[in-house]
């Protein structure tokens, strides 16, 4: 720029400064200060200030410093809700000079501020173009254009707000439809209430079945029960929760031992099954007992074995 920040804000030029010093009878500003300021408060050495920066360079420097700020959660106004002030209220109330200079004697300050703005605008145009003259009406044209642009932005913002609200309502309706479809899809699948190993399937995929027809047989093969039969003499020494040793019979003399717990005892006797052997071969009536074991995969459903209490 033709004029620096100091030149535009400090009026006297070197020639004018020299003329004023001659009138005062001193040769420099330093001599004038030395004669004016008392010796006990006068600095012996100049201030350690950095070289002056131009206005553009200093604004860039301030922007760099401001860029170090971190945008954290603001606690200012906590508990209050956001508000939107209509443009007519902002312009005619908050930005109306009558509210902050409502007394007549100081109305001249408004005019003075306007004149200062015009002078600053002229100075800016002169600095940018290098011309010695600038038309003040250019500021009015620019101000009017900015105001029209602001009105357009406000109208566009209002239209976007209306559009956003409409889209939000449509999205809410769409979310409801999505939830309904997901609920309908969930009802189209059969979910087994228990987990385990599928032992047998009664229908195939895609096959239509009648209501109430079983689809598959599922069993928990990790936790199984061994059904044993004891005589009345043995029953009196057996109780629920008692530990027992279970031997799984693999045939050919091969057996595997498991540790189990008595989980159920029948309260009624029954005739001894033909395939069951008891310690007392002459016993006709026996009691059923269930022993729970943790299966490692070798014990199979329907396999014979032996239980020792």
Instruction: Evaluate whether residue 97 is within a structural domain.
Output: yes
Statement: residue 180 has pLDDT above 70: yes
Question: Does one domain contain both 45 and 98?
Answer: yes
Tell me the average pLDDT across 145-152: 79
Tell me the average pLDDT across 122-139: 76
Domain's final residue, options 129, 146, 163:
129
pLDDT of residue 22: 93
Question: Does one domain contain both 117 and 146?
Answer: no
Unique residue bearing structure tokens 């006068």? 42
Using 50, 70 and 90 to split pLDDT, how confident is the model at 211?
A: confident
Question: Does one domain contain both 166 and 95?
Answer: no
pLDDT of residue 225: 85
Query: How confident is the model over 235-274, as pLDDT tens digits?
Result: 788 888 889 888 888 777 788 888 889 888 888 878 777 6
Question: Does one domain contain both 156 and 238?
Answer: no
Instruction: Evaluate whether residue 72 is within a structural domain.
Output: no
Question: Does one domain contain both 23 and 59?
Answer: yes
Statement: residue 206 has pLDDT above 80: no
pLDDT of residue 26: 93
pLDDT of residue 160: 81
With a CB cutoff of 8 Å and minimum separation 6, the contacts of 93 are 99
User: Is residue 269 within 8 Å of residue 282, measured between CB atoms?
Assistant: no
pLDDT of residue 165: 78
Strands 223-230 and 285-294 come out as antiparallel
Question: Does one domain contain both 224 and 157?
Answer: no
Return the structure tokens found at 165: 């609200």
> Which domain does 270 fall in, by range?
219-308
Residue (of 191, 195, 246, 241) closest to 221 by Cα position:
195
Query: How confident is the model over 215-231, as pLDDT tens digits?
Result: 888 887 788 888 888 88
Statement: residue 196 has pLDDT above 80: no
Mean pLDDT, the chain, whole residue set: 79
pLDDT of residue 124: 82
Domain's final residue, options 168, 189, 210:
189
Of residues 302 and 100, which shows the higher confidence score? 302
pLDDT of residue 289: 85
Instruction: Evaluate whether residue 152 is within a structural domain.
Output: yes
Statement: residue 46 has pLDDT above 90: no
Using 50, 70 and 90 to split pLDDT, how confident is the model at 21?
A: very high
Of residues 93 and 155, which shows the higher confidence score? 155
Of residues 63 and 195, which shows the higher confidence score? 63
Statement: residue 191 has pLDDT above 60: yes
User: Is residue 268 within 8 Å of residue 239, measured between CB atoms?
Assistant: no
User: Is residue 20 within 8 Å of residue 12, measured between CB atoms?
Assistant: yes
- What is the domain count for the chain? 3
Using 50, 70 and 90 to split pLDDT, how confident is the model at 24?
A: very high
pTM, rounded to two decimals: 0.36
The residues that bridge with 55 in the sheet, in sequence order, are: none
Using 50, 70 and 90 to split pLDDT, how confident is the model at 139?
A: low
Q: How many CB atoms lie within 10 A of CB 248?
A: 19
Question: Does one domain contain both 28 and 140?
Answer: no
Phi, psi of 148 (to 5 degrees): -60, -40
Using 50, 70 and 90 to split pLDDT, how confident is the model at 62?
A: very high
Return the structure tokens found at 25: 């009878």
Return the structure tokens found at 100: 């902050």
pLDDT of residue 61: 93
Of residues 306 and 8, which shows the higher confidence score? 306
pLDDT of residue 269: 79
For residue 278, what is the domain's CATH number? 2.40.30.170
Question: Does one domain contain both 141 and 111?
Answer: no
Query: How confident is the model over 284-293, as pLDDT tens digits?
Result: 788 888 888 8
Instruction: Evaluate whether residue 200 is within a structural domain.
Output: no
Statement: residue 82 has pLDDT above 60: yes
Tell me the average pLDDT across 30-56: 87
pLDDT of residue 28: 92
Question: Does one domain contain both 103 and 141?
Answer: no
């Amino acid at each position: 720029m033709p004029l620096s920040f100091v030149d535009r804000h400090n009026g006297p030029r070197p020639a004018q400064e020299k003329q004023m010093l001659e009138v005062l009878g001193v040769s420099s500003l330093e001599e004038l200060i030395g004669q004016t300021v008392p010796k006990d408060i006068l600095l012996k050495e100049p201030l350690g200030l950095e070289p002056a920066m131009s206005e553009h360079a200093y604004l860039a420097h301030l922007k760099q410093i401001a860029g170090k700020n971190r945008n954290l959660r603001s606690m200012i106004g906590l508990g209050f809700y956001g508000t939107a002030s209509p443009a007519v209220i902002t312009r005619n109330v908050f930005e109306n000079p009558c509210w902050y200079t409502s007394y007549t004697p100081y109305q001249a300050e408004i005019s003075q501020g306007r004149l200062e703005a015009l002078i600053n605008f002229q100075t800016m145009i002169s600095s940018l173009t290098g011309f010695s003259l600038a038309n003040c009406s250019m500021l009015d044209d620019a101000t009017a254009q900015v105001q029209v642009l602001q009105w357009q932005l406000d109208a566009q913002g209002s239209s976007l707000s209306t559009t956003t609200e409409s889209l939000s309502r449509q999205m809410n309706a769409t979310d409801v439809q999505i939830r309904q479809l997901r609920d309908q899809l969930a009802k189209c699948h059969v979910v087994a209430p228990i987990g385990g190993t599928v032992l047998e399937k009664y229908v195939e995929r895609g096959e239509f079945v009648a209501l109430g027809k079983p689809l598959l047989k599922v069993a928990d093969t990790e936790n199984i029960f061994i059904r044993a039969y004891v005589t009345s003499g043995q029953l009196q020494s057996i109780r629920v929760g008692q530990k027992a040793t279970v031997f799984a019979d693999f045939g050919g003399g091969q057996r595997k031992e498991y540790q189990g717990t008595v989980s159920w005892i029948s309260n009624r006797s029954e005739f001894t099954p033909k395939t069951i052997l008891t310690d007392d071969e002459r016993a006709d009536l026996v009691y059923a007992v269930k022993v729970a074991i943790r299966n490692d995969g070798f014990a199979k459903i329907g396999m014979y074995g032996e239980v020792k209490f």
